[in-house]
Structure 1
Amino acid sequence: MENIRATSRPAVGLMLAIALVALNLRPSMAAVGPLLSAIRGDIALSFSLASLLTMLPVTAMGLGMFFGLSIGRRLGERRTVMLSLLIIGLATLSRWFIDSAAELIVGAVLAGFGIALIQALMPALIKSRFADNVALYMGLYVTSIMGGAAIAASFAPLVMLQTGSWRAGLAIWAALALLASMLWWAQRANLPHAMPETHKQESFFRHPRAWLLAVFFGLGTASYTCVLAWFAPYYVEQGWSEQHAGLLLGFLTAMEVIAGLLVPAIANRSRDRRWVLKGLLLLIIAGFCGLTLTPHHLSLLWPCLLGLGIGGLFPMSLIVSLDHFDHPQRAASLTAFVQGIGYLIAGLSPLLAGTIRDRLGSFEWAWWSLTAVMVMMWLMARRFDPRHYARQFP
Structure 2
Amino acid sequence: MTAPQPLWRGRVLAVLGILLCAFSLRSAVASLSPLLDYVAADFAVPTAIVGLIGTAPPVCFAIFGLATPLFERRFGIERVTAVALLVITAGLVLRGVSFGAVPLLLTSALIFAGVGMGNILVPPLVKKYFPDRIGMMLTLYTTAMALSTFLPPLVAVPIADAAGWRLSLGFWGVFALAGALPWILMLVTGRTAAQPVPSARPTEPAYRDAADSADPAELSTGPIVTTPASSRVFARLVRLPLAWAIAVVFGTSSTMAYVSFAWLPAIVTDAAGVSPAVAGLLLSLFAVMGLPASLLVPVLVVRFQATRALFAVAVSCGLIGVAGLLFWSDAVTIWLWTGLFGLVGILFPLALVLISIRARTPESAVALSSFVQSSGYVFAAVFPLLMGVLHETTGGWTIPLLVIAAVLVVAIPFGLVAGRRRTVEDEWERRHGRW
TM-score (norm 1): 0.84
Answer yes or no: is the 8 Å Cα contact 1:236–1:245 preserved in 2.
yes
Post-superposition shift, 1:13? 4.4
Answer yes or no: is the 8 Å Cα contact 1:33–1:228 preserved in 2.
no
Instruction: Show the counterpart of 2:178.
Output: 179
Instruction: Show the counterpart of 1:170.
Output: 169
Instruction: Show the counterpart of 1:228.
Output: 261
Question: Is the deviation greater in 272-281 or in 99-108?
Answer: 99-108
Task: Give the secondary-structure state (helix, strand or coil) at the position aligned to 2:93.
Answer: helix
Instruction: Show the counterpart of 2:227.
Output: 197
1:300-356 CA-partner distances (Å, limit 9, x unpaired): 43443333331x211212323443332231232122111111111112222223334
Residue 388 and residue 141 in structure 1: after superposition, are their counterparts in 2 closer, same or farther (change >3 A)? Answer: closer
Residue 107 and residue 348 in structure 1: after superposition, are their counterparts in 2 closer, same or farther (change >3 A)? Answer: farther
Residue 9 and residue 234 in structure 1: after superposition, are their counterparts in 2 closer, same or farther (change >3 A)? Answer: farther
Structure 1 unaligned residues grouped into runs of 5+: none
Distance (Å, rounded) in 2 between the aligned partners of 1:361 and 1:32 = 28
**Map of 1:147-296 to 2, 5 A cutoff?**
147-163=147-163, 165-188=164-187, 189=189, 190-192=191-193, 196-197=226-227, 200-201=230-231, 202=233, 203=235, 204-232=237-265, 240-241=275-276, 245-271=279-305, 273-292=307-326, 293-294=328-329, 296=331
Instruction: Show the counterpart of 1:351.
Output: 385
2:28 pairs with 1:28: yes
Residue 76 and residue 338 in structure 1: after superposition, are their counterparts in 2 closer, same or farther (change >3 A)? Answer: same
Instruction: Show the counterpart of 1:307.
Output: 342
Task: Give the secondary-structure state (helix, strand or coil) at the position aligned to 1:269.
Answer: helix
Answer yes or no: is the 8 Å Cα contact 1:154–1:249 preserved in 2.
no
1:251-299 CA-partner distances (Å, limit 9, x unpaired): 4323212211112212223335111111112122233333455263244
Distance (Å, rounded) in 2 between the aligned partners of 1:369 and 1:39 = 33
Answer yes or no: is the 8 Å Cα contact 1:149–1:250 preserved in 2.
no
Residue 145 and residue 199 in structure 1: after superposition, are their counterparts in 2 closer, same or farther (change >3 A)? Answer: closer
Post-superposition shift, 1:216? 2.8
Residue 134 and residue 37 in structure 1: after superposition, are their counterparts in 2 closer, same or farther (change >3 A)? Answer: same
Point out which structure has higher relative CO (alpha carbons under 8 A, 6+ apart): 1
Distance (Å, rounded) in 1 between the aligned partners of 2:49 and 2:385 = 8
2:367 pairs with 1:368: no
**Map of 1:295-334 to 2, 5 A cutoff?**
296-310=331-345, 312-334=346-368
Question: Is the deviation greater in 69-78 or in 354-363?
Answer: 354-363
Task: Give the secondary-structure state (helix, strand or coil) at the position aligned to 1:18.
Answer: helix
Answer yes or no: is the 8 Å Cα contact 2:355–2:368 preserved in 1.
yes
Residue 160 and residue 245 in structure 1: after superposition, are their counterparts in 2 closer, same or farther (change >3 A)? Answer: farther
Distance (Å, rounded) in 2 between the aligned partners of 1:31 and 1:366 = 27
Answer yes or no: is the 8 Å Cα contact 2:293–2:349 preserved in 1.
no
Post-superposition shift, 1:80? 1.8
Distance (Å, rounded) in 2 between the aligned partners of 1:116 and 1:207 = 23
One-letter amino acid of the structure 2 residue matched with residue 207 of structure 1: L
Post-superposition shift, 1:185? 4.1
One-letter amino acid of the structure 2 residue matched with residue 191 of structure 1: T
Instruction: Show the counterpart of 2:206.
Output: none
Answer yes or no: is the 8 Å Cα contact 2:44–2:101 preserved in 1.
yes
Equivalenced residue count is 387
Instruction: Show the counterpart of 1:68.
Output: 68
Answer yes or no: is the 8 Å Cα contact 1:222–1:347 preserved in 2.
yes
Instruction: Show the counterpart of 2:46.
Output: 45
Question: Is the deviation greater in 36-45 or in 263-272?
Answer: 36-45
Residue 320 and residue 160 in structure 1: after superposition, are their counterparts in 2 closer, same or farther (change >3 A)? Answer: same
One-letter amino acid of the structure 2 residue matched with residue 308 of structure 1: L
Residue 179 and residue 361 in structure 1: after superposition, are their counterparts in 2 closer, same or farther (change >3 A)? Answer: farther
Structure 2 unaligned residues grouped into runs of 5+: 195-224, 430-435
Instruction: Show the counterpart of 1:378.
Output: 412
State the identity %. 25
One-letter amino acid of the structure 1 residue matched with residue 227 of structure 2: E
Distance (Å, rounded) in 1 between the aligned partners of 2:138 and 2:398 = 33
Post-superposition shift, 1:40? 6.1
Task: Give the secondary-structure state (helix, strand or coil) at the position aligned to 2:103.
Answer: helix
Post-superposition shift, 1:126? 0.7
Post-superposition shift, 1:108? 1.9
Larger radius of gyration: 2
Distance (Å, rounded) in 2 between the aligned partners of 1:340 and 1:178 = 25
One-letter amino acid of the structure 1 residue matched with residue 68 of structure 2: G
Question: Is the deviation greater in 100-109 or in 216-225?
Answer: 100-109
